[in-house]
Amino acid sequence: MVEAFFSSAEQGRGRGGGISPSILDAIGWTPLVALDRLGAGLPGRVVLKIEGANPGASIKDRAALQCIEEAERAGLLKPGGVVVELTSGNMGAGLAIVCAIKGYRFIAVMSVGNSRERVQMLRALGADVELVPQMPGGVAGQVSGDDLALVEERARALVRTLGAFRPDQFNNPANLRAHELTTGPEIWAQTAGTVTHFCAIVGTGGTFLGTARALKARNPAVRCYAVEPEGSQVIAGKAVTDPRHTLQGAGYAAVPPQWGAALCDGTLAIGDDAALETARLLATREGIFAGFTSGANVAAALRLARDAPAGSIIATVACDSGLKYLSTNLVPD
């Protein structure tokens, strides 16, 4: 199946020239860039997948397409259907694009704590956006597990009322498969099989688990590390001391439902300050404008590179574009 993916991707997904039948063919095969300025002098070399190059400017485009197309093949989504999903914004943007092409109505259910650029982008793409208030004491830009529970409640109500299809990215195996079939094989191919480490922040777990599964299937020695926000290290088995952080779409103070411990060789905790500082350095030193979670991923990868054997290749992902965070403190005054 992976071989078939590479054949179709290389020949017809907009990467080999020619005219693509739709924007969906531009999903995937994102650039892999070496961060040789930030990682100068380190034993390991950090390489970064630029997922902001996807049409929806995030890695979630991959999962959105996989979830919808698997639902169509299974008969769960019919012409004229309605799609409802809980989202921090990135999966919503991906689904909005896929639904626009395929003719489905899409309703994104999200917390008001997410950055307003995400809401604006969803509406621009034709999605209906249901904004759910945060818990009392909630802070804008910091979506906690309790905030997410309120969003979940509203999403379930809409699915019942409308008889809608819900991709349910937290529980849908298609979310993991998207990365097992695309992200992982792409990293393997782009590094010519020399990748030694992989790390990624965990929200639904799809990116980490699917990519780790693909890489370890090719070389069981590849070390894969889950990145978590400081104070919300549930995968590491630690008590949650601070569920509120700026790493949107990650660290919901709960182990993802599809978690596979056998794919995880360890965890790395990154705080808000380190994520912010690294995201800013990524922009000013490497010319890559990405969000807070990308900053956390790169900070974790650089940490691995400091302790890795010479010649190691540490891969991670820039989850989305910094353009989704212009209203936050990502951009200095």
Active site residue 49: no
Residue at token pair 């509406």: 123
The per-type count for the chain, helices as H runs and strands as E runs, is 10, 9
User: E strands within 54-160?
Assistant: 82-86, 105-111, 128-132
Catalytic member of 60, 102, 216, 324: 60
What is the rounded CA–CA span in Å between residue 113 and residue 100? 26
Cβ proximity of 313 and 47 under 8 Å: yes
Between the alpha carbon of residue 107 and those of residues 136, 272, 320, the distances in Å are: 25, 30, 21
What is the rounded CA–CA span in Å between residue 158 and residue 130? 10
φ and ψ of 280, to 5 deg: -65, -40
Beta strand pairing status for 32-34 and 45-50? antiparallel
Amino acid residing at 68: I
Q: How many CB atoms lie within 10 A of CB 109?
A: 25
Return the axis-axis angle of helices 90-102 and 116-124, rounded to nearest 10°. 0
Tell me the catalytic residues.
Answer: 60
